[in-house]
């Protein structure tokens, strides 16, 4: 397939925003359960964290507009929510943005109140909002991933690993960003909490993404030249495309790059997404070095852009068999 950078930035930006919101929620839950020390200015910490998560979601939404041929008709994309994962994503993203916005307002506006308390623990209004936010996060992850995983004839995407990788890669980038954020706020306990989970999630994502690469390398395609043109013959050779120039099919369903380029991108993102951020996180979380932690997030995000480009480019549309000489 031809990778569209608008969709690449959409999925990577909202993935980081979703992962960052998860990090904030679980950090707050840990503090209210007395598993982590309370943050001195928790309203500011979690409130401005929600602002960052919301900004990433908005940036992803804006980037998606550039993928629309008729942006003024974007509202129609939600009309088929009963059968279309794309329509469900269109509804889930504003829901996620709304909950994130409310979560931030509750913290920054001073509206957070204790709903329930016992001898040692408490349950606050913001944590209740955060629970709805976590549900929205996973609904959005599933909707986004299923847009691709549900396409049966694109065998590289049609696997549960697509959904798992979207969740783990987005969560890993969000926790890496949260590590840098807490380091900037000089909250060492939170920095270690976020950093350890960022390393764990990145390691898990490494195994699942590697599994998908191995699986895709061993795919036995169901389509063939014979099935592409409907002629059952053992020896069929295509000599030309059947047209003098390119077409929509050859532009939109094929990346146009060489096999060497694809292989280079694969090894590039495997280095940038997994080992380099883990090395930087391991070296910096103990010293609370915010510059190194910011660099870890930037490197990982650049790697995720390359990973998502490869994800789209690797999908081999069956129609490319018909246009194989192009």
Cα separation of 262 and 268, whole Å?
Answer: 10
Mean pLDDT, all residues of the chain = 89
Those residues of the chain that have pLDDT short of 50 are none
Model pLDDT, residue 305 = 97
| Token pair listed for 58 | 């908005």
Model pLDDT, residue 60 = 93
Model pLDDT, residue 324 = 64
281-284-288-291 Cα dihedral, nearest 10 degrees: -90
Model pLDDT, residue 91 = 93
CA distances from 134 to 18, 95, 147, 188, 215 (A): 8, 11, 20, 24, 30
Contact 272, 301 (CB under 8 A): no
Cα separation of 257 and 262, whole Å?
Answer: 7
Task: Find where tokens 């697509």 sit.
Answer: 162
Residue 84's CB is within 10 A of a number of other CB atoms, namely 17
Burial bucket for residue 100 (CB in 10 Å: 0-12, 13-18, 19+): buried
Contact 100, 54 (CB under 8 A): yes
Contact 37, 189 (CB under 8 A): yes
| Token pair listed for 49 | 């964290």
Contact 60, 94 (CB under 8 A): no
User: Full-prediction pTM beyond 0.75?
Assistant: yes
Continuous segment of H or E residues that includes residue 115: strand 114-117
Contact 38, 98 (CB under 8 A): no
| Helical pair 188-217 and 275-284, crossing angle rounded to 10 deg | 170
Q: Dump pLDDT digits (tens) for 239-283.
A: 766 666 677 777 777 887 888 999 999 999 999 999 999 999 999
Contacts 24+ apart (CB under 8 A), 163-167: 164/208, 165/205, 165/208, 165/209, 165/212, 166/11, 166/15, 166/141, 167/138, 167/141, 167/142
Q: Dump pLDDT digits (tens) for 105-118.
A: 999 998 888 887 77
List CB contacts of 150: < 8 A, sequence separation 6 or more.
Answer: 85, 158
Cα separation of 253 and 153, whole Å?
Answer: 13
Grouping H, G, I as helix, E, B as strand and the rest as coil, residue 124 is strand
List CB contacts of 2: < 8 A, sequence separation 6 or more.
Answer: 251, 252, 253, 254, 255, 256, 312, 313
Model pLDDT, residue 42 = 85
Residue 150's CB is within 10 A of a number of other CB atoms, namely 15
What domains can you pick out in the chain, each with its CATH number?
Answer: 5-229+246-322 (1.20.1630.10)
């Amino acid at each position: 397939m031809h990778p569209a950078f608008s969709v690449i930035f959409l999925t990577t930006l909202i993935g980081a925003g979703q992962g960052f919101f998860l990090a904030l929620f679980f950090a707050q839950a840990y503090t209210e359960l007395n598993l982590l020390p309370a943050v001195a200015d928790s309203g500011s910490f979690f409130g401005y964290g929600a602002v960052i998560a919301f900004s990433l979601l908005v940036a992803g939404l804006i980037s998606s507009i550039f993928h629309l041929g008729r942006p003024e008709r974007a509202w129609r994309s939600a009309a088929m929510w009963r059968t279309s994962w794309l329509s469900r994503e269109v509804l889930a993203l504003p829901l996620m943005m709304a909950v994130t916005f409310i979560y931030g307002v509750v913290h920054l506006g001073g509206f957070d109140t204790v709903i329930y308390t016992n001898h040692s623990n408490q349950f606050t209004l913001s944590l209740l909002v955060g629970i709805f936010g976590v549900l929205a996060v996973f609904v959005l992850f599933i909707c986004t991933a299923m847009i691709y995983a549900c396409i049966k004839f694109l065998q590289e995407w049609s696997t549960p690993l697509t959904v798992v990788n979207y969740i783990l890669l987005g969560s890993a980038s969000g926790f890496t960003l949260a590590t840098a954020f807490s380091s900037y706020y000089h909250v060492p306990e939170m920095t270690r909490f976020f950093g350890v989970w960022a390393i764990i999630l990145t390691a898990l994502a490494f195994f699942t993404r590697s599994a998908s690469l191995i699986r895709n390398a061993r795919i036995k395609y169901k389509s063939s030249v014979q099935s592409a043109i409907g002629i059952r013959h053992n020896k069929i050779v295509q000599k030309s495309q059947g047209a003098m120039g390119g077409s929509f099919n050859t532009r939109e369903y094929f990346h146009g790059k060489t096999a060497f380029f694809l292989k280079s991108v694969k090894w590039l993102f495997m280095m940038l997404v997994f080992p380099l951020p883990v090395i930087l996180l391991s070296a910096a979380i103990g010293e609370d070095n915010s510059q190194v932690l910011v660099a870890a997030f930037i490197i990982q995000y650049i790697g995720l852009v390359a990973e998502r480009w490869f994800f789209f480019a690797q999908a081999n549309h069956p129609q490319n068999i018909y246009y194989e000489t192009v």
